[in-house]
C-alpha cells in the first residue's frame, strides 16, 4: 500500500474514533487487526478490538484525537 493510502486509512480510522462510530471503525480493520497500546500491550483480532473499542467509548464518551501539523 502506498503512503497516501496509508495516510488516508489512518485519517479515516481516527475520524471513526472521534465520531465513536464503532461499526465504521470495525469496517476499517482486517480480521487479524493488531492493536498495540502505549504500554506495549498487544491485542489481536477484529472481534476482540470491536469489544475493546465499545468498552473504551463507554468509559470515555468525550474522547477525541486531535492531530496538529
List the domains of the chain with CATH numbers: 3-59 (3.10.450.50)
**What is the share, in percent, of the chain residues with pLDDT greater than 70?**
97
| Burial class of residue 46 (count of CB atoms within 10 Å of its CB; 0-12, 13-18, 19+) | middle
Q: Are 16 and 24 in contact (CB under 8 A)?
A: yes
φ, ψ for residue 7 (rounded to 5)? -65, -45
- The DSSP element (H or E) to which 15 belongs, if any, is helix 3-18
Q: What is the pLDDT along the chain (69 residues), one digit of tens a residue?
A: 688 898 999 999 999 999 999 999 999 999 999 999 999 999 999 999 999 999 999 999 999 998 876
- The DSSP element (H or E) to which 56 belongs, if any, is helix 46-59
The pTM of the whole model exceeds 0.95: no
Amino acid at each position: 500500500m502506498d503512503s497516501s493510502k496509508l495516510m488516508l486509512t489512518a485519517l479515516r480510522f481516527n475520524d471513526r474514533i472521534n465520531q465513536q462510530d464503532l461499526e465504521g471503525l470495525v469496517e476499517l480493520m482486517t480480521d487479524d487487526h493488531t492493536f498495540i497500546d502505549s504500554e506495549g500491550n498487544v491485542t489481536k483480532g477484529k472481534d476482540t478490538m470491536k469489544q475493546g473499542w465499545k468498552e473504551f467509548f463507554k468509559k470515555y464518551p468525550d474522547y477525541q484525537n486531535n492531530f496538529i501539523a
